[in-house]
Structure 1
Amino acid sequence: MALTIHAGYVPGCIGRVAELHARYYHPLVGFGLPFEAQVARGLADFCERFDAQRDGLWFALQDGVVQGSIAIDGSHVEEDGAHLRWFITSDATRGSGIGQQLLATAMDFCAAQNYSRVYLWTFEGLAAARHLYQKHGFALVHQQAGTQWGGEVREQKFERRSPV
């Protein structure tokens, strides 16, 4: 069955998104339990305080199973900008264009909300994701060594600014 984009909470999504992140990042950079728990906790908190007037949450579904995700957290938009979070696709769908569709959906939401600044944190070495970010107008604005995700990486902040 084809992949579809679904807006809003899906039962089991928190665990599935945490699993997708853990299964991708553990072999890649060694992130383990602290990272998976941080993803699950953060997404659970976001879902509990979700406000459809300011936040966005989308899933790529195939046969009812979450194969990708992305979120826009607008809770601190006035101070920091909108925060793009939990962007991931499954190994089975990576390269299919679903990541592009998820990111375009999130950026369309930001435009509709008149969010002039959107940012995300990632780390060096994720070439495909960086390509998508740059394609959608994001630019690298800051780098630093960090361990917030359970392993030492070169953290990167990307930001997209657009006139309102």
Structure 2
Amino acid sequence: MLPTIHKDYIPGAIGRIVELHAHYYSQLVGFGLPFEARVARELAEFCERYDGERDGLWLVQQDGNIEGAIAIDGAHAGQDGAHLRWFIVSDKMRCTGVGSALLTAAMEFCAARHYDRVYLWTFEGLGAARHLYEKFGFRLVHQQLGAQWGVEVNEQRFERVCQFTVSPSHT
């Protein structure tokens, strides 16, 4: 069965998104309990205050399982920009175009709400993700050493100034 993208929360989404993040980043860079707890806490808080007019959550489903996610937190979009968060795709869904489909859905949502800026925090060393962000017009605007995720990494902030076009550039 082909994967589908579902908008908004479904039961089990918080746990599965946390699980995907915990496993992937533990293997990649050694993130552990502080990272997993932070993802769980912040994602649960986001879901509790979720407003479908302002916020977005998209889930990739295949065979009844959640295999990817992305969120737009619009709570402070007017002042700081919309915050792209919890973008993850399972190992079996990587390199299938699902990540691009999730980013497209999120950026279309931002365009429909006329969010003039979208930002995300990540860290150096995630080449495939960075390539995808840059295809969608995100640019690195700040970096610093930090340990907000429990292990010291070179944290990076990417921003996209929106002109209300969504398609990735073909560079």
| TM-score of the pair, normalised by structure 2 | 0.94
Q: Is the 8 A contact 2:7 2:57 kept in 1?
A: yes
Shift of 1:64: 1.6
The unaligned stretches of length 5 or more in structure 1 are none
- The count of residues paired between Structure 1 and Structure 2 equals 164
Residue 149 of structure 2 aligns to which amino acid in structure 1? W
Q: Match of 2:77, as an amino acid?
A: V
Aligned to 1:29: 29
Where do 1:6-155 residues align within 5 Å? 6-155=6-155
Q: In structure 1, how many angstroms separate the alpha carbons of the residues matched to 2:146 and 2:46? A: 23
Deviations 1:70-120 (CA, angstroms, capped at 9, x unpaired) = 000000011100000000000111111100100010000000010110000
Amino acid at match of 1:59: L
Q: CA deviation at 1:163?
A: 3.7
CA contact (8 A) 2:141 2:159 kept: yes
Q: Percent identity?
A: 66
- Return the offset for 1:139: 0.2
Which whole-Å CA distance do the structure 1 matches of 2:152 and 2:93 have between them?
28
Work out the CA distance in 1 between the residues paired with 2:114 and 2:44. 26
Contact 2:22 2:36 in 1 (8 A): yes
2 CA distance for matches of 1:29 and 1:159? 24
Task: Provide the C-alpha distance between the structure 1 equivalents of 2:162 and 2:93, rounded to a whole number of angstroms.
Answer: 30
Q: Which segments of 5 or more consecutive residues in structure 2 lack a partner in the other structure?
A: 165-171
Offset, 1:57 = 0.3
C-alpha distance in 2, partners of 1:16/1:121?
Answer: 21
Q: Which amino acid aligns with 2:34?
A: P
Stretches of 4+ aligned residues off by more than 3 angstroms: none
The structural deviation recorded for 1:151 is: 0.5
